[in-house]
């Protein structure tokens, strides 16, 4: 009896110390909470931390108590007592954890229901991951953006997908994470609560520049968001080549193709148009409009000598319109000083 009270005291002391420490530092372990959903996630995580702190104390408490109190006395070579089992104890350590786990399952399912519930006036944003770029489309306004702009306080459903490999959309301040899987659309609902600029990162290792797959997430006041939408909807100024430059940026082409002659993951676009291109199968082809289009839509077909077949996302056809393709060709052509009539 003396030992039981003793060990309970040790466990209680360690648990209490861990709880006090956690209570003081929990908020510093994680970044700012910037969405309604993040409060549910943190509450659940916080509750689990407290249970885990107790489990930690349970193990460490018994261990420390045994090390110090049941230490072998000098000269004592006798065996310890033999226990075959303890039915009461075994029932307890089955039933109590079962109860705790079930409690968390019920609370967790409730929260999950809350944070995934659709609303009637949701803003829809299509999020497309590709190596190594995020692209954001707003079907309600017909606009596309390389940054995710969101109005504060508005529930938004992000329809997340990919055109090449699996990526994962993760903004730590929103706490939620969702895989971007080619051929599938996964919804993620977010209601931003704090104006500010955050960063979406890719949480699924997806190739060479995975760790640089970042995009800004700007949470703005409703009127600032509306002003941004109006500015985007305004007719584009400048010519086709300028529009092409924007599309190249939006779709992450420039992460692999330079316009200054240097080689990144793919060949440079400087002086490409109108030139002869050496292909991996030994043939050559003139980089005309048809070749450029085919290179974008079917990157596996005409592979440039010395480059990787799988490096270029295979499904740009899913996100680029006919107009986008023409603008891209015009842009690439504008980067050529070569006169194709020579």
Instruction: Map residues 289-308 to x or -, x wherever contact with ligand HEC holds by CB under 6 A.
Output: ---x--xx--x---xx--xx
Label residues 254-267 b or e (16+ Cβ within 10 Å = b).
ebbbbbeeeeebbb
Q: Which stretch binds ligand HEC (CB under 6 A): 43-51, 62-70, 179-187, 245-253?
A: 245-253
Task: Decide: is 162 part of the binding site for ligand HEC (CB under 6 A).
Answer: no
- CA neighbours closer than 13 Å in the CB half-sphere of residue 307: 23
CA 11 and chain centroid, separation: 39
Of the candidate residues 160, 190, 200, 202, the single one contacting Cu ion (CB under 5 A)? 202
Interacting residues with ligand HEC between 124 and 153 (CB under 6 A): 131
Rounded Cα distance between 181 and 330, Å, is 31
Cα–Cα distances in angstroms (integers) from residue 172 to residues 32, 37, 123, 215, 258, in the given order: 8, 12, 21, 13, 31
Determine contact, residues 269/329, Cβ cutoff 8 Å. no
Q: What's the token pair of residue 322?
A: 């006919």
Instruction: Map residues 212-251 to x or -, x wherever contact with Cu ion holds by CB under 5 A.
Output: -x--------------------------------------
Question: Which three-class secondary structure state does DSSP give residue 42?
Answer: helix
- Considering the complex, what minimum distance in angstroms separates the CB of residue 247 from ligand HEC? 7
Instruction: Map residues 194-233 to x or -, x wherever contact with ligand HEC holds by CB under 6 A.
Output: ----------------------------------------
Contacts with Cu ion, residue ranges (CB under 5 A): 167, 202, 206, 213
Contacts with ligand HEC, residue ranges (CB under 6 A): 131, 248, 251-253, 255-257, 265-267, 272, 277, 287, 292, 295-296, 299, 303-304, 307-308, 311-313, 316, 328
């Amino acid at each position: 009896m003396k030992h039981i009270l003793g060990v309970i005291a040790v466990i209680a002391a360690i648990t209490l110390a861990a709880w006090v420490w956690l209570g003081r530092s929990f908020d510093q372990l994680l970044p700012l909470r910037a969405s309604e959903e993040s409060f549910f996630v943190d509450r659940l995580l916080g509750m689990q931390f407290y249970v885990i702190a107790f489990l930690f104390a349970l193990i460490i408490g018994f261990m420390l108590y045994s090390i110090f109190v049941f230490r072998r006395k000098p000269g004592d070579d006798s065996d310890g007592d033999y226990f075959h089992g303890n039915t009461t104890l075994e029932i307890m350590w089955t039933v109590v954890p079962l109860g705790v786990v079930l409690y968390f399952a019920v609370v967790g399912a409730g929260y999950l229901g809350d944070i995934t519930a659709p609303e009637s006036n949701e803003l829809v944003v299509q999020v497309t991951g590709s190596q190594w770029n995020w692209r954001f489309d707003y079907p309600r306004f017909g606009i596309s953006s390389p940054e995710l702009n969101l109005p504060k306080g508005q529930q938004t459903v992000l329809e997340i997908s990919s055109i090449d490999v699996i990526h994962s959309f993760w903004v730590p301040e929103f706490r939620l994470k969702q895989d971007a899987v080619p051929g599938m659309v996964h919804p993620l609902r977010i209601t931003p609560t704090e104006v500010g600029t955050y960063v979406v990162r890719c949480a699924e290792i997806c190739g060479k520049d995975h760790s640089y797959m970042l995009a800004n997430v700007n949470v703005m006041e409703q009127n600032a968001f509306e002003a941004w939408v109006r500015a985007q909807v305004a007719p584009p100024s400048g010519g086709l080549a300028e529009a092409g430059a924007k599309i190249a940026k939006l779709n992450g082409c420039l992460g692999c193709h330079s316009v200054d002659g240097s080689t990144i993951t793919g060949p440079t676009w400087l002086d490409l148009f109108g030139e002869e291109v050496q292909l991996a199968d030994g043939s050559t082809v003139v980089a005309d409009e048809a070749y450029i289009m085919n290179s974008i839509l079917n990157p596996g077909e005409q592979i440039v000598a010395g480059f990787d077949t799988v490096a270029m996302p295979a499904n740009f056809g899913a996100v680029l319109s006919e107009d986008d393709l023409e603008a891209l060709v015009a842009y690439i052509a504008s980067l050529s000083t070569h006169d194709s009539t020579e």
